[in-house]
Amino acid sequence: METTRKIHRVINSKPTLEGAGVHLNRVFGFHEPQGFDPFLLLDDFRSDVPENFLKGFPWHPHRGIETITYILSGTVEHADSLGNSGVIGPGDVQWMTAGSGIIHQEMPKGDPAGKMGGFQLWANLPATNKMMEPRYREVKSVQIALVHAKSGASIRVSCGEVEGTIGPVRDIITDPEYLDVTLSPGAEFSHPTSNDHTVLAYVIEGQVYFDAEKKTPVSNGELAQFEAGEKVVAFASDVTARFLFLSGKPIGEPVAWYGPIVMNTQRELQIAFEEYSNGTFIKHK
């Protein structure tokens, strides 16, 4: 019999300021670099106040990680040192592997009503891949399959597999899953998980129960982190609910982290910032 994961803890997102003055809610990524291994940070930048996000994230470096941006509303203009540029909009995903080093900027713009919505997740890279060649993937909404489960759940599969449907983002080192799950009133969602993987659910609409007794609701802006187990089950209340489902294989290595660069040792961090200062940061053309 499969063991169902129980909630280990529920975390409230907290307001913070990033970039050139972007107001957002940080779900995790403050003081626990190993607490969500292989994930490092999750930011929620939903807002209907343009002054809170238009200054964006001007040119800055990354090394040693992957950044995953998922848009619900509005757009984000992207440009980087690899020569990539473009715009991602509602339903699109940008999966960027910084590897040995990339310099980029991300500039959000609201929709016609001035509304912006989206999330950025940081995933760590193991030591053997910290200095890999950077790569950039832009996945449009039409490329992301929508699975309609018999239980009443609708799942957008960016990365991972649901009922035989595999997401377009593949060949990622930490074997992650990134699902956008919508539950109609009274619907259920059951999904198998690797017992040793870190599994998280961030609620972005309504309330979700992750226990059959429906004793502990997790609400919009709250993250559930789960104990070990072979599956996760979710239940909606009497209103529509929605959450991001994230899982990944822990790396289990030391983390040396400062700003946009994540390495394994303080010396590696020092070298990265020295190279950024002297113009030798970019290793791959």
Residue 22 parent element (H or E): strand 22-28
pTM metric for this prediction? 0.96
CA distance 139 to 145: 11
- What distance in Å separates the CA atoms of residue 162 and residue 157, rounded to the nearest whole number? 7
Please say whether the beta carbons of 175 and 227 come within 8 A. no
Amino acid identity of residue 181, one-letter, is V
Going along the chain from its start, the domains and CATH numbers come out as 13-141 (2.60.120.10), 144-253 (2.60.120.10)
Length of the chain: 285
The angle formed by the CA atoms of residues 61, 171 and 183, to the nearest 5 degrees, is: 90
- Integer CA distances (angstroms), 86 to 78, 111, 136, 140, in order: 5, 17, 11, 11
| DSSP code per residue over 83-101 | S-EEEE-TT-EEEEE-TT-
Structure tokens at 95: 């999966």
Residue-by-residue pLDDT tens, the chain, 285 positions: 789 999 999 999 999 999 999 999 999 998 787 899 999 999 999 999 999 999 999 999 999 999 999 999 999 999 999 999 999 999 999 999 999 999 999 999 999 999 999 999 999 999 999 999 999 999 999 999 999 998 889 999 999 999 999 999 999 999 999 999 999 999 999 999 999 999 999 999 999 999 988 888 999 999 999 999 999 999 999 999 999 999 999 999 999 999 999 999 999 999 999 999 999 999 876
